[in-house]
Amino acid sequence: SGTTTRRFVGHTKDVLSVAFSSDNRQIVSGSRDKTIKLWNTLGVCKYTVQDESHSEWVSCVRFSPNSSNPIIVSCGWDKLVKVWNLANCKLKTNHIGHTGYLNTVTVSPDGSLCASGGKVRPGGVGGAPRGSQYVPVHPSAPPRAPSLSPPNRYWLCAATGPSIKIW
């Protein structure tokens, strides 16, 4: 009907990203206020990630689609990809290596990898749950919309140029 059914109020600055969990029971949001919030679908904030959070804007947040690997992955303007334990919202690992701000991150269907992209190259693919080595890839333009194929054979991204590339 086009009518708002819920408002999620709690961030103090613009919200840059939201995502549903695979079971559609939780929502995660990231904001220019440098926080990540975990919500129920009624609009109640259940947890605000502040300890070890991003030092700059949180530009993208995603749940792992694999319910047996309950994590949240975030990225931001501090050049970091962070992996969070969904059970306690504590930091599991940082992926370091980007040289510019990040605006997008995605998690593979099995939850074992994450891919990110942002302002400058390289993009990267890394082990989401345990923080295994983060492997840079070098598209000709900054990657904007990463996607990981099942079963993690390919990394697909759209860049700012007129092409889509697969690694």
Amino acid occupying residue 128: A
25 HSE (CA, 13 A, CB side): 3
At 129, the pLDDT band (50, 70, 90 cuts) reads very low
pTM: 0.81
Task: Please give the Cα distance from 109 to 138 (Å, whole number).
Answer: 23
Per-residue model confidence (pLDDT) at position 143:
57
Q: Which domains does the chain have, with CATH numbers?
A: 15-166 (2.130.10.10)
Over residues 63-122, the pLDDT tens digits come to 998 888 899 999 999 999 999 999 999 999 998 877 788 888 888 888 887 778 776 554
Task: Please give the Cα distance from 7 to 81 (Å, whole number).
Answer: 28
Over residues 19-53, the pLDDT tens digits come to 999 999 999 999 999 999 999 999 999 999 988 99
